[in-house]
């Protein structure tokens, strides 16, 4: 499969526009074109050991959930392990791609997979994603009335002459007087010019309404999930469900003030990876994530909310098995997809 075609298909599967603005997603390393992809290699983290595994398995495209390149590089030498990853990828003509928070937000993504381990529940994003574009042209809507004593044609001609403005008009009645309602959709830059024009006419300006247009929320898309169980269970039962889903022998638990293992759990707020900023303020019986700071845990526990931590990548890695199946179907088996056997969380209980 041609690299460009594969990238287009991956974006159709989960748009990179879902990613957080601070993230570094998409194609990170590109061999000189043309580049044909026969084997796609999945990993949560691209370490040097995982890179060696990918090369041994003849991969020509690595999808690493976490971006191996995040901070800008000033040089590519053999000095640091991330620089060596880039060198080895280019020398062996291997493309490297990372979806990271785009897959966190996607309806069929990491957080959705994490919620599957809780039991039967309904879920919604904690921080919903917004559409890339506004539903109409422009970022603002300006509306005002023009009565019969004013030159309607001149007003319309003037606002139509401003770049970035679209104009509609319709009949309106105010205080039993026939008027014309003017509605303008305009860009941020055009708004300044529209307001400047209207301010020259006090009668128009005093009756002007300015609305800020919002990008619509995307259904089932966004960061974190707030999950409401169909039937509440004890915290002890929830712990066992999470261990089973993540295939972990141990997890870390902070009991909320006044809570015990017998306390009931009805609502779970979860976020794969490091979830403090996403979970903050969510009303739930349990916060479930990979890692949180000591002081954030104390704050949450003081509110009577239990906290379960499973280490950062343990809340993400299991998704890759589901992803392997989903991508095979999405790409119509045009590419062989293999899953790393070496990739694992760097922390272990000893």
Cβ–Cβ < 8 Å for 53, 45: no
Give the span between the Cα atoms of 8 and 166, in whole angstroms: 33
137 labeled binding residue:
no
316 labeled binding residue:
yes
CA distances from 279 to 91, 123, 276, 287, 293 (A): 42, 14, 5, 7, 12
100 labeled binding residue:
no
The helix (run of H) or strand (run of E) holding residue 202 is helix 202-206
CA distances from 297 to 43, 245, 336 (A): 29, 23, 42
Strand order from edge to edge, sheet including 95-98: 26-29, 95-98, 61-64, 39-43, 336-339
Orientation angle between helical segments 188-198 and 152-160, nearest 10 degrees: 150
Cβ–Cβ < 8 Å for 29, 325: no
Chain-centroid distance of CA 246 in Å reads 22
Give the span between the Cα atoms of 67 and 65, in whole angstroms: 6
Tell me the torsion sign for CA atoms 98, 66, 321, 229: negative
Residue recorded with tokens 């261990």: 243
Cβ–Cβ < 8 Å for 232, 266: yes
66 labeled binding residue:
yes
Give the residue from 110, 68, 99 showing the smallest Cα distance to 6. 99
Give the span between the Cα atoms of 224 and 279, in whole angstroms: 7
Residue ranges for the known binding site for a divalent metal cation are: 66, 104, 312, 316
Q: Binding site, residues?
A: 66, 104, 312, 316
């Amino acid at each position: 499969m041609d690299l460009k075609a594969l990238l287009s298909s991956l974006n159709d599967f989960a748009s990179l526009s879902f990613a957080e603005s601070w993230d570094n997603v998409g194609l990170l390393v590109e061999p000189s074109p043309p580049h044909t992809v026969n084997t796609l290699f999945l990993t949560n983290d691209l370490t040097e050991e995982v890179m060696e595994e990918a090369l041994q398995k003849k991969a020509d495209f690595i999808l690493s959930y976490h971006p191996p390149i995040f901070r800008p590089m000033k040089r590519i030498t053999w000095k640091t392990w991330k620089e060596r990853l880039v060198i080895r990828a280019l020398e062996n003509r291997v493309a490297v791609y990372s979806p990271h928070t785009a897959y966190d937000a996607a309806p069929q993504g990491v957080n959705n997979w994490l919620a599957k381990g809780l039991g039967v529940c309904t879920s919604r994003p904690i921080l919903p994603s917004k559409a890339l574009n506004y539903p109409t042209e422009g970022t603002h809507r300006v509306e005002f009335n023009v009565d019969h004593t004013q030159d309607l044609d001149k007003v319309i001609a003037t606002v139509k002459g401003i770049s970035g403005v679209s104009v509609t008009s319709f009949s309106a009645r105010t205080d039993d007087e026939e008027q014309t309602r003017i509605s303008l959709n305009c860009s941020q830059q055009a708004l300044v010019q529209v307001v400047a024009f209207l301010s020259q006419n006090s009668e128009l300006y005093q009756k002007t309404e300015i609305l800020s247009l919002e990008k619509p929320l995307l259904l089932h898309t966004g960061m974190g999930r707030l999950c409401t169980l169909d039937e509440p269970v004890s915290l002890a039962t929830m712990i066992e469900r999470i261990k089973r889903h993540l295939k972990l022998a141990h997890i870390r638990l902070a009991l909320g003030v006044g809570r015990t293992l017998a306390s009931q759990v009805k609502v779970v707020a979860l976020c794969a990876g490091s979830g403090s900023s996403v979970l903050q303020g969510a009303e739930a019986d349990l916060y479930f994530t990979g890692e949180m700071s000591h002081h954030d845990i104390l704050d949450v526990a003081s509110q009577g909310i239990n906290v379960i931590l499973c280490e950062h990548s343990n809340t993400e890695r299991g998704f890759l098995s589901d992803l392997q199946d989903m991508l095979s179907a999405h790409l119509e088996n045009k590419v062989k997809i293999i899953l790393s056997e070496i990739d694992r969380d760097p922390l272990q209980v000893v």
